[in-house]
Chain A
Amino acid sequence: MNTWWLAVIVLGVVSVGIGFVWLIAKVSSLQGGSPDRPGDIDSATRKDIEHIFNDEFRSELKNRGRLHFEKIIGENAMFLQQDLRLTTSQLNDYMKEEITAKLQEEFAKYEQSIMDAKQLAIDSITKTNAAVEEQRRTLSTQLEKEIAVEKDRIIKEFEENTAAIINHYLLEAIGDQIDLSDQLEYILSGIEANKQAIVEDIKSGS
């Protein structure tokens, strides 16, 4: 619509220009005159014409034409100025609307991009969380298995070494508490039990 208005304004200016040119041409033709008939009539007529349309008259016409032209020019300029103001205002509105629409569109795109990025990030985080959770589950299972294996190993080792531990504890606990004199019969009974081997070894050694 604004383009149409601009075209109308340009057409108005061009028509005013054409009118102005036509007026100048008319005035020039009036000033110059043209011989109608040969002879006296022509010369008399020319004289009358020159008498009627003398320089003053022509000057008066020029002034009138100039004033009229200035008036037309002024009016057209006023119209043009109004049109220009209107056009400028409309252009401003148009630009505002266009810019606002463009900005809104860009903002919408931007917002959409942000939403897409956000969604991507959420998807990525969700996938990462799922992977971490899976890894945690795997590790937890593996850890439980290893703990169970280690527990079995410790229990087995404890069972295997229990006797040694208790022996060591007993030796540490009662080692200093048994009087050697009380052990005499125990020692002698042990020697008596190995008497044959001891005697044989002494005989073979000596």
Chain B
Amino acid sequence: MAPKDPGGRVLELPVQVISPADVHRLSRELESLEDFLAQSAIRDPGSRMKLPSSTKLLDELAAANSFNFLRDGDRQKARTFLESLSKYAPVVHISFASDPSANFMSKLTTRLRATIHPQLLITVGLEPNIAAGCILRTPNRQFDLSLRRALVGHENSLINLLKAQAGVNAA
């Protein structure tokens, strides 16, 4: 079930937030910000204090959902949203032959969220022996979309071609 804000608006998950680890990282950052603001409220007026720098992920989350994290209500919404994501967001595991680039993951995440689920989270693994393609694992199933699988699936065609070629050579 997609998390929504109290007004019924579906909150948007930035494409840079890809894995559950990113969600946890955002939650911790949000908690740090919350702590900082709570501490600043009880400090003496006029004392100097250094604002914590926010990460790009947090900025993207704020920008995507028009949050102002100085407002308590927006922080609460974001925290609830992240908690909801941790608990309910669908997670798929995708293994690639090599380590994917950030740009590749952004494109893939965008397409998967548009196709499968808007809050889909992705964990990435490495499986060098598949050569190309990927292996996608959902909670209960595995989808082998690798080149290895494709080649194995076409073994009969390959054998038929080889036999035909052998027949031509023999003739």
Asked if A and B are interacting partners, one says yes
Q: How far is the CA of A170 from the CA of B149 in the complex (A)?
A: 12
Q: Any chain A CB within 8 A of the CB of B54?
A: no
**Size of interface on A: residues with Cβ below 8 Å to B:** 32
Q: A175-B131, A175-B132, A178-B132 are in contact. Are A184 and B104 (CB under 8 A)?
A: yes
Q: Residues of A contacting B112 with CB < 8 Å?
A: 191
Q: Which residue of B lies closest to A171 (CB)?
A: B131
CA distance A175 to B132 in the complex (A): 6
Interface size on B, residues (CB 8 A): 42
In the bound assembly, the distance between CA atoms of A57 and B159 in angstroms comes to 152
Supposing A187-B133, A190-B133, A204-B140 touch, asked if A198 and B92 sit within 8 A by C-beta, the answer is yes
Pair B133/A183 contact, Cβ less than 8 Å? yes
Q: Establish whether residues A159 and B97, one from each chain, have CB atoms under 8 Å apart when the complex forms.
A: no
A-B contact count (CB 8 A): 112
- A36 at the A/B interface (Cβ < 8 Å)? no
The stretch of B7-15, B33-41, B150-158 in contact with A is B150-158
Could you say which residues of chain A place their CB within 8 Å of the CB of B134?
183, 187, 190
CB of A1 within 8 Å of the partner chain: no
B90 contacts partner chain A, Cβ-Cβ < 8 Å: yes
List the A side residues contacting B73 at CB < 8 Å. Answer: none
Q: A181 and B117: CB pair below 8 A?
A: no
Whether B90 pairs with A205 at a CB distance below 8 angstroms is yes
From the candidates B104, B132, B138, B151, name the one contacting A202 in the complex (CB within 8 A): B138
